[in-house]
Structure 1
């Protein structure tokens, strides 16, 4: 299983003007007894990027974030921030701030006092910290909320107070540990847009940890997909979604169909593992209609239909072996397949061969 692709090194055009990555991890490992929580991670994050670390629980992403913050020390490897090795420095000696999922606001303090707290610890003069706090609240669109208590705010507003408290210190890197996880779906989706806009406004590097694939795809400039303490792939959202480097990435990021074995040889015409996204497939009840040029076709039987409001999902058992999922937009009454027999069609360039583990790393 490849640790990461050559594309791990930043290709973002902004990186060409900066001599050092905002964050550089080299051979990073963290062991808890016999458990290898992080098992050899190399990564460059250029300044000004919104970078997400995506993976399931236990994949190592949060442990990497904690090591960047200084809350955990690496077993081996190095952590550099703007070219400085900070691997053994205490958290307060690193030019980073962290926003946690629970926000950790002081309930007895006002919003402004919460935002000012870090500046008070640093003994910043009162007038300056007041001005900086007001500026930070303006950045997160909370003008006029300074005298309220956290209990008087909504979940989304408390999340923005926690963000302002981190931004007021003007860190070079802001670390975010699943900060939207406690919000309901609609508020989380709204905050995804807001958080990305705030990052563009302030222009600092965001390193964002999430297990939510839609969140990572929506917000990120680039994504690192973690599994088993290692990086499976690093790339833009489109690269990770459209051209997964491993079977794990194909299955974890979005909903993917994987064709392999005899089914792949029969349908595709050659061996290998192939990824086809459900929304790329067309479903038709007329098995006799001719195939269009440049398309691949397969016949099968509908085994399940799931109505999901905006979309309808079909599970189709292929005659050649294997099963494919098909998603159609809900534009009216769903098509009727009385006997369940259907033909599936997709463009050949929408069928992507997933590289084998022993093949060239991507």
Structure 2
């Protein structure tokens, strides 16, 4: 059964179609992410599910119940926001209990449930602290506990990690996924950060201009993007099209290949390409050292610019940095090409998922 079903859902603001005739099913117990740039419609969809916005047309169902016309407090969902909205004058336990107090849950019961929720988010022993005594990650967990204590059917998360620093954000990505597995609640997570979505999600919907460009698992989304928009937004992609694809591949169309699937060798070590290997000559324009990896930007003789990524080792770093302005040969396997036009040497997204 679907935890959430959206049918023909649209939301217009004057002449802007923020959400445009959307159909979507989210399964029970799923960690589902809505990914896209600012203004793509993902947050508006979340607000429509929560009841904070009224749809222009279409229906919102939670399980078998049509909740389109219900106010937020009559929907079995809770929302965690980026700013946490924790009451500074209350203790951690009082913050977590707040929703239960509103529902007039007896004192002993709400205290028990609050402590259980704090244990779920790994905050045992923090019940009597005030929010100003907590780190950013701990405050985020308090907001999560406050949402979980109500035992909602669906938990909506609106970019809750956006205010955290990079290291803490990555730690919380793993924590959130583990918590979701333990409690078994459907999580709907909104983000513009592709790493967050790829790390945590069971499935991801990539939004663009109020519509879903592609709905897939993280692996399918990254390895088999369905459009040039998805290929460019999720990770780094190299596009080969027009005259470049005709010259290098002998075929018309638009093809994508990820930087880590491209190898770079000196011109005197270039393969002949008879074994299905694609070969392209060019000159290294720039080398970008990123710690664990190095990206080399190569201007091809055929006219395109490709990025090559490789893991750094003790011997490879200096050699990579010295390649700037030098001629090189790029190679890749034809099987690693993905056709965005549905034909060509690489399998199309539709063909590979059939």
Pairwise TM-score range, normalised by the shorter structure: over 0.9
In the alignment, is residue 147 of structure 1 matched against residue 128 of structure 2?
A: yes
**C-alpha contact 2:338 2:349 (8 A) present in aligned 1:** no
Could you list the per-position Cα deviations for residues 35-73 of structure 1 after superposition, in whole angstroms to 9, with x for gaps in the alignment? 111111111100000000000000000000000000001
Please give the secondary structure, in 1, of the residue aligned with 2:6.
strand
Q: Which residue of structure 1 lines up, in the alignment, with residue 37 of structure 2? A: 56
Cα distance in structure 1, aligned partners of 2:283 and 2:269: 15
| Runs of 5+ consecutive residues of structure 1 not aligned to the other structure | 1-19
155, 158, 161: which is aligned to 1:177?
A: 158
In the alignment, is residue 255 of structure 1 matched against residue 255 of structure 2?
A: no
**C-alpha contact 2:153 2:185 (8 A) present in aligned 1:** yes
Of 296-305 and 63-72, deviating more is 296-305
Q: Which residue of structure 2 lines up, in the alignment, with residue 319 of structure 1? A: 301
Tell me how far 1:288 sits from its aligned partner: 4.7
Tell me how far 1:339 sits from its aligned partner: 5.4
249, 252, 258: which is aligned to 1:277?
A: 258
**C-alpha contact 1:285 1:337 (8 A) present in aligned 2:** no
Where in structure 1 do 4 or more consecutive aligned residues deviate above 6 Å?
none
Cα distance in structure 1, aligned partners of 2:196 and 2:62: 25
Cα distance in structure 2, aligned partners of 1:290 and 1:300: 15
Q: Which residue of structure 1 lines up, in the alignment, with residue 62 of structure 2? A: 81
**C-alpha contact 2:18 2:209 (8 A) present in aligned 1:** yes
283, 288, 310: which is aligned to 1:301?
A: 283
Tell me how far 1:291 sits from its aligned partner: 3.7
The normalised TM-score by structure 1 is: 0.92
Q: Which residue of structure 1 lines up, in the alignment, with residue 345 of structure 2? A: none
**C-alpha contact 2:30 2:186 (8 A) present in aligned 1:** yes
Q: Which residue of structure 1 lines up, in the alignment, with residue 52 of structure 2? A: 71
Identify the structure with bigger relative contact order (alpha carbons < 8 Å, sequence gap 6+): 1
328, 332, 349: which is aligned to 2:310?
A: 328
Paired residue total: 340
Q: Which residue of structure 2 lines up, in the alignment, with residue 221 of structure 1? A: 202
Tell me how far 1:352 sits from its aligned partner: 0.6
Q: Which residue of structure 2 lines up, in the alignment, with residue 112 of structure 1? A: 93
Of 294-303 and 97-106, deviating more is 294-303
**C-alpha contact 2:19 2:210 (8 A) present in aligned 1:** yes
**C-alpha contact 2:285 2:325 (8 A) present in aligned 1:** no
Q: Which residue of structure 1 lines up, in the alignment, with residue 77 of structure 2? A: 96
In the alignment, is residue 347 of structure 1 matched against residue 328 of structure 2?
A: no
177, 182, 186: which is aligned to 1:201?
A: 182
**C-alpha contact 1:79 1:86 (8 A) present in aligned 2:** yes
| Runs of 5+ consecutive residues of structure 2 not aligned to the other structure | 343-347
Q: Which residue of structure 1 lines up, in the alignment, with residue 13 of structure 2? A: 32
* Shift in alpha-carbon separation, 1:77–1:140, aligned structure 2, 3 A: same
RMSD: 1.4
Cα distance in structure 2, aligned partners of 1:117 and 1:46: 29
